[in-house]
Amino acid sequence: MQRERHLTPPCSRLLSACLFLLALLLGSISISAQNNITGTVTDTQGEPLTGASVLIKGTQQGVSTDIDGNFAIKVAQGKTLVVSYIGYITQEVPVNASHLNIVLQEDQQILDEVVVVGYGTMQRKDLTGSISTVQAKDLNVGAYTDPGQLLQGKVPGLVVVQNSDPNGGVNSMTLRGASTLNGSTEPLYVVDGIPGVNLNLIPPGDIESIDVLRDASATAIYGSKAANGVIIVTTKRGSDGPAKVTYSGYASWEWVANDHDMMSADELRAYAEANGITLKNDLGYNTDWKKEVQRTGFAHNHNLSISGGGKSTSYNVSVNYIARDGVIKGVGNNLFTARSYVETKALKDRLTLAVGVNGNVRNEWGVPRGANGLSVYNAMYYYSPLVPVRNEDGTWYKDLSISQNVNPMALIYEDASRATFKRFQVTGKASLKIIEGLMLNANLSYNTQNYDYKDYQSHQSQTTFKDGQTSRKTTTDYKKLMEIYANYDKTFNKVHKLSLMAGYSWEEEKNGEGFGARGYGFLDDSLWWDNIGAAANWDTDPVWAELMKPKRMISFYGRVNYSLASKYIL
């Protein structure tokens, strides 16, 4: 038998060879395409820019320049590099050589911007510290309950931690990590030049700009109080002209987006049957406790302001109301704030006087969040779906034979609490121009806060069995501040800038002074916590007192800045 042989024609062999050579050529081109490109980034004076960002356009691949402004990056010829540096105009540079000399132009708009620093202002190009500025138009917009939410995601390194309470408690902010010298991780808040102001006294709609001081050189002027950074808030002012009325309002809805997946009653029965388990408390119900406890949260924010003024006097008055119903039934808060600020000039505009009055009332109501099962947030997951919400007579279902087992709906409606914060602040400022460049300034502030807490466990409570029990507690805090400081700013021969500042600060705090009481044994639940004197019984030591914790701080401070042509700064 002859075996058939298939021979490759000469033209086919030639074609295969050509394809092989083409593949090698394309491979060599692909390999050689990723060239190692070097370059130098400088300013218009030839000075190297350290830390400039060099990115391949359309990607996240990039490098930063070294101390001499040099960089090296692997990139194909014909690609584009995006080069940027703070205070300079971003440039797009085509890759058409193995070495690139890139010169960035200064962004005068940014460099000439005046920013607020501790006890003064400076041009951004004369700064040596790290300061981020967020204008009002760039702040987050929405039905926010505190100013911290306005900055979320706006400032590098600033972490805004959402309060774990679903009723929307006050958030906390961390700027420089968890290290602290004052027992708190909160930054120091400075509002209109007054340090230590409670940020909740400022309606979000009244904020003009926020400057965030992060590094040690920027915050050093405030001493140990600024160990966690400084947030400087500048509020809106009135302007020359007729009265201007402004209203803004927002509304939002909230719900739990990613809840725990719990067994339904039918799934639990099926699992028990498959595994030979007897469910002793199966009363034939199919209760979804998450659905019973949760709801769609709703929040709304309203701000009304009136501003205006004349040639020498300006004013701004605002009222703000925020209300929020949390995603858990029985929890929520509301906040009413009123604020006024008046500024006037005298002595041929050499003297500036300003007075501010702020006050607000915040109410928070909530449900138990205790340990050992006495928490609504735990009970809605651990309570059996086999039992009803209420008995046939309308009372709450309960099974006290099981430890740490409480009906979450009973916790919501029979164990309630309410807290009220009342804050009031008066500030005064004065600035006198003594000679050209020399200003003498004074700040005065008086701040008081009253905290009132009350709770009540009714006759139907499944946590306290004392025929109704109520607790009341009240504390008051005081804070006084006086500061006197002088600023001297002078430019010599258009290139030498000298800035001097020296000051004295006195502040005193008296915190925690108050008392509380607890009584039980009420005829019915009609009064709740409104008349503790109607209690039939009292604890052995029914009244307790809080000790006042005074603190006084006296400081002297100063600062010297020198700038040569806004390039060499001390």
CB burial readout 269-304, b (16+ within 10 A) else e: beeeeeeeeeeeeeeeeebebbebbbbebbbebbbb
Is pLDDT larger for residue 548 or for residue 268?
268
pLDDT by residue (tens digit) across 284-304?
Answer: 999 999 999 999 999 999 999
How high is the pLDDT of residue 146?
A: 66
**What pLDDT score was predicted for residue 510?**
93
What's the pLDDT at 162? 62
Region 512-530: what's the mean pLDDT?
91
Alpha-helical segments (H) within 102-199: 108-111
Kindly tell me if the per-residue pLDDT of 390 is higher than 80: yes
With bands split at pLDDT 50, 70 and 90, how would you rate the model's confidence at 187? confident
Regarding predicted confidence, which is higher, 116 or 183? 116
| pLDDT tier for residue 425 given thresholds of 50, 70 and 90 | very high
Residues 142-168, mean pLDDT to the nearest whole number: 64
Residue 470 has phi, psi (to 5 degrees) of -135, 150
pLDDT for residue 119: 85
- What average pLDDT score do residues 477-481 get? 95
Residue 62 · residue 55 · CB < 8 Å: yes
Q: What is the mean pLDDT of residues 437-455?
A: 95
Reduce the secondary structure of 48-112 to three states and give it as a string: ECCCCEEEECCCCCEEECCCCCEEEEEEECCCEEEEECCCECCEEEECCCCEEEEECCECHHHHC
SS3 assignment, position 204? helix
Instruction: Indicate if the pLDDT at residue 31 is higher than 70.
Output: no
Q: Out of 322-336, 500-514, 533-547, which region has the weakest mean confidence (pLDDT)?
A: 533-547
pLDDT, residue 28, reads: 40
Question: What's the CA gap between 515 and 546, in Å, rounded?
Answer: 6
pLDDT digits (tens, 9 = 90+) for 195-237: 888 888 888 888 888 888 877 766 778 887 887 888 888 888 8
Residue 11, pLDDT score:
44
**Is pLDDT larger for residue 3 or for residue 132?**
132
Q: What pLDDT, on a 0 to 100 scale, did the predictor assign at position 108?
A: 63
What average pLDDT does the segment 529-536 reach?
89
| Average pLDDT taken over every residue of the chain | 84
pLDDT tens digits, one per residue of 117-154: 788 877 766 666 667 777 877 777 766 666 677 777 66
CA separation for the pair 138, 196 (Å, rounded):
25
Tell the residue number behind the tokens 């002027």, with chain if given.
221
| Mean pLDDT value across residues 420-437 | 95
Most confident of 420-429, 491-500, 530-539: 420-429
